[in-house]
Structure formats: C-alpha cells, structure tokens
Amino acid sequence: MTNEEASKQAFELYKSIQDIEYSRRLNYLKIANYFLTLQETTWYKFILGDDNATWATFLAQPEILYSRNQIYEMGRVYKHFVVNLGIAIQDLGKVDFQRLIKMIPHTDKNNIEEWLKKGELLSPQDFKNEIREIKGILTTEDCKHQDKHQYDICVSCGFKQKHV
C-alpha cells in the first residue's frame, strides 16, 4: 500500500469515527427524550404493570442500562437545550454530552450559539478554561503553578499518596 492510499484510508476511517460519534450523540439525546416522556406521562407504570410503581422502581430494572444519575443528566440536557432554548438535537449532536452538562448553568437564549461553537471547536483544556473563567476560577493559563504536590503511585494496585 502506498502512502497516498494509506493516507486516504486513514482519513476515511477518521471520517467514519466522526460520523458514528455524531450518530451516537443524537441517539443519546433521543433516548433522553424517551425517558423524559415515560417519566412525565408516568407511562413507565404500564411497563411495570403497577399503578403504584415509582420512577425509581422503573429505573432499577436490569434492562435499564443507565444509572439514575445518567438519566437525570440526560433529562437536564434535553430540557435545557431542546425544550427551554429550542435547540435542534442535530446541533447538540456536534457537542460532547459532558460539555453540554457543564454548559447548562452558563447558557441562555442570548449566548447559546457562542457556547455551542465553544463546545464543538475548543480543545478539552481550552473548554475547561472557559468554564473556569466564567465561574471566576483561576484558569491554567493564568496560574503560576506554584502550589504543586508530588504523589507516589503503586504500579501494582494504583494506590496514590502524597510524597513527603
């Protein structure tokens, strides 16, 4: 295989990864909507066959492959961005889900487009600094890194302790 062929194949694989990741994010948002619908309509009681069933009971089923916290965060993201701000899930699919969670307290109709671009385009460290800056916390760019600690980590078990 020539370098040109390998390069072409590498870019095709990379594009496939991006496409699959985008689809995964869209599906995650669709699942969030379905969970919200089941919760808000109490239709989960039909699934359990129990009029007295609780949402927590429904979520405890082994077939529910998400933790209660994951489902809660999924709902928060969907409600904030789709329901409250009217953002299409196709636009949200361009942003990592954890970034969307971090953006919730800082986004409104006036700044959502700016934050979606930041969420889509910034490196992990730059995005982290944006969040730290808006919270009024020292960013890695502004820090002089004078408060350092060294740690010893056991390579066998991963135990970590402060080096003295």
Query: How many structural domains comprise the chain?
Result: 1
Which residue range forms the structural domain that includes residue 9?
3-124
The two three-digit tokens of residue 82, written as one number:
């789709």
Rounded Cα gap, residues 22 and 93, in angstroms? 6
- Residue 77 lies inside a defined structural domain of this protein: yes
For residue range 97-150, list pLDDT tens digits in order.
Answer: 999 999 999 999 999 999 999 999 999 999 999 999 999 887 877 777 667 778
- Residue 146 lies inside a defined structural domain of this protein: no
89 neighbors 29 (Cβ within 8 angstroms): yes
Give pLDDT, residue 151. 86
* AA identity, residue 32: A
pTM: 0.81
Residue 95 neighbours by CB under 8 Å, 6+ apart: 25, 103, 116, 119, 120
